[in-house]
């Protein structure tokens, strides 16, 4: 028997990735837009608080269990920035190009270019769930000055994956979905939900 689960996102890539894997343990994943749920505010300074807020928001407005993620790139020399502000690092409106340009400019005076993508997933059974299921994943790499690759989005073309010699934007979807911070977090979540 399958149970409906609302994904606190309308991103088709996330829906496909999460939907396929969660179907293996009996969930029918639906995007929040299917229920006319607007995007939740993300007012917090931590990934876990923002993901929890998004999950509770979707569960509250649909009456269904919900799954949310919050993720971004954290650069060690910049004390973890852009972090939760990754999508809005260069200000409004959101722009992958401007965000990447700002990141490269901010790193010009630093020799340490190490970074990691970080993802937190939060699953709630209902809006007031006192025991949300929380999983996280970290994908280590280095920020490079010249972009490489055309796959992916965000900072992917500037994020060279540790040990591969390729940027995240040079990886195919299947390889990225095995290695990424989101894939790591999802595997942890699946183990906890089983």
Closest CA to 121 of 100, 144, 109, 137: 137
The pLDDT value recorded for residue 84 is: 96
- Alpha-carbon distance of 121 to 132, in angstroms, equals 10
Give the pLDDT score at 51.
Answer: 97
Looking at residue 31, what is its pLDDT? 95
Task: Give 63-97 pLDDT, tens digit per residue.
Answer: 999 999 999 999 999 999 999 999 999 999 989 99
The model's pTM: 0.92
Residue 11's Cβ-side half-sphere holds a number of Cα atoms within 13 Å equal to: 12
CA distances from 24 to 1, 68, 121, 189 (A): 11, 18, 18, 13
Q: Is residue 112 classed as helix, strand or coil in its secondary structure? A: coil
Q: For the chain, how many helices (H) and strands (E)? A: 5, 6
Distances (CA, A) of 113 to 68, 79, 152, 193: 29, 12, 20, 36
Name residues of the chain where pLDDT drops below 50: none
Delineate the domains of the chain, giving CATH numbers in brackets.
3-193 (3.90.950.10)
Question: Which residue out of 69, 70, 136, 156 is catalytically annotated?
Answer: 70
Residue 162 annotated as catalytic: no
């Amino acid at each position: 028997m399958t149970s409906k689960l609302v994904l606190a996102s309308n991103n088709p890539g996330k829906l496909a990735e999460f939907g396929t894997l969660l179907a293996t343990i009996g969930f029918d994943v639906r995007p929040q837009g299917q229920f006319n749920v607007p995007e939740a505010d993300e007012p917090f300074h931590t990934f876990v608080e923002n993901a929890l807020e998004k999950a509770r928001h979707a569960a509250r407005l649909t009456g269904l269990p919900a799954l949310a993620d919050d993720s971004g790139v954290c650069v060690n020399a910049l004390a973890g920035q852009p972090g939760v502000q990754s999508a809005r690092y260069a200000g409004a409106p959101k722009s992958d190009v401007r965000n990447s340009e700002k990141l490269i400019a901010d790193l010009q005076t630093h020799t340490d270019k190490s970074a990691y993508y970080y993802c937190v997933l939060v699953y709630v059974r209902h809006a007031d769930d006192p025991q949300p299921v929380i999983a996280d994943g970290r994908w280590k790499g280095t920020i490079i000055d010249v972009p490489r690759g055309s796959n992916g989005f965000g900072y992917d073309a500037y994020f060279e994956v540790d040990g591969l010699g390729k940027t995240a934007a040079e990886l195919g979807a299947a390889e990225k979905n095995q290695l990424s911070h989101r894939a790591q977090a999802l595997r942890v979540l699946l183990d906890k939900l089983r």
